[in-house]
Amino acid sequence: MKKIFVSAIILGLIAGISTAAANAAADNTEERGYITVNTQANKELSPDMVEISIAVETYDKSMQNAVAQNKEISDKVQAVLKTLINSQNMDYIKTSDFSATPLYNYVNKKRVFDKYEVSNTIIVHTKNIDKAGEMIDKAIAAGATNVNNLNFSVSDYEAQCDELLTLAVTKAKNQANAVAKGAGAVLDGVKYMNASCNSGATSRVYYNLMAKNAVSDSAEAGMSSSTPISAGRIKVQATLNSAFFVK
């Protein structure tokens, strides 16, 4: 019994010493001085990819007829768009959303069925930015009713972010060194680094959708019409929040 009791005391002392040492180390870490630095690095790039969201909407009292009409027009729109993209450059066309919804009117405060609305959204992803306007015109001429959005981007976004983050780290170290030197100290390791990267267009994208009859009139007159598109520039920015220990 005595041996067991003595062993328990020794183990308790060892545990206590270990805990105290850990707490002391933690306290020492917390007491270490440090410098926080927030830096950014950015650049503007010309976009080399665009995604165009094109919608085909049809209406009919019969859902079956509305769906059939929508399919016929959507097939025409996709067929004409396929002639303007290059699959070897990883260009593609896909359907992103399809819906069939009943529409109602209110007569004498009563909801009365009016017709069905069928909508099919087609996404065009292409590197042929210079053909974006032509794609819009031909899609409208083929029966598309809306162009919902244009999203420009750069294909090497990840590589650009990595390069900017490296630059942001270098700037952070230089700034921290300057502050430490002014305070009569030197850097002694990294406390933390929180990094992020994002992109956004530096100028708005402008586009005007021509009415179907305007496109048809231009085609009949032998004129080449193209919806004006301005891709602008893409701003890629890296942000770094960091802290360095000093001694």
Residues of the chain with pLDDT under 70: 1-30, 201-226
Q: What pLDDT is recorded for position 229?
A: 82
Q: CATH 3.30.110.170 occupies which residues in the chain? A: 31-47+155-247
Strands 234-246 and 34-45: antiparallel
pLDDT of residue 64: 96
pLDDT score, position 124:
96
Q: Tell me how many helices (H) and strands (E) the chain has.
A: 5, 7
Find out whether 154 and 234 touch, Cβ atoms under 8 Å: yes
Q: Sign of dihedral through CA atoms 233, 234, 238, 239?
A: positive
- Return the SS3 of 68: helix
DSSP string, 165-225: HHHHHHHHHHHHHHHHHHTT--EEEEEEEEEEEEEEESS-----PPPHHHHHHHHHTT---
The pLDDT of residue 224 is 53
Question: Which residues in the chain are classed under CATH 3.30.70.2970?
Answer: 49-153
SS3 category, 61: coil
Helix axes 63-82, 132-141, angle to 10 degrees: 150
Closest residue by Cα to residue 94 from 119, 74, 108? 74
CA 238 to CA 73: how far, in whole Å?
44
> CA 49 → CA 78, 110, 126, 152, distances in Å?
19, 49, 6, 6
Q: Residue 90 has which token pair?
A: 């990883």
Q: Give the chain's radius of gyration (CA, Å).
A: 32
**What is the DSSP code (8-state) at residue 136?**
H
Q: Which residue has the tokens 């170290």?
A: 173
Model confidence over 216-225: pLDDT tens digits? 454 444 445 5
What separation in angstroms does the CA of 125 have from each of 58, 94, 99, 131? 24, 8, 21, 12
CATH, domain 31-47+155-247, list 3.40.640.10, 3.20.20.70, 1.10.150.530, 3.30.110.170: 3.30.110.170
188-244 pLDDT, tens digit per residue, is 999 999 999 998 765 444 444 444 444 445 444 444 556 788 788 899 999 999 999
For domain 49-153, the CATH superfamily is Protein of unknown function (DUF541), domain 2 (3.30.70.2970)
> Residue 75 is encoded by which pair of tokens?
């097939």
What pLDDT does residue 69 have?
97
- Report the pLDDT value the prediction gives residue 231, as an integer from 0 to 100: 80
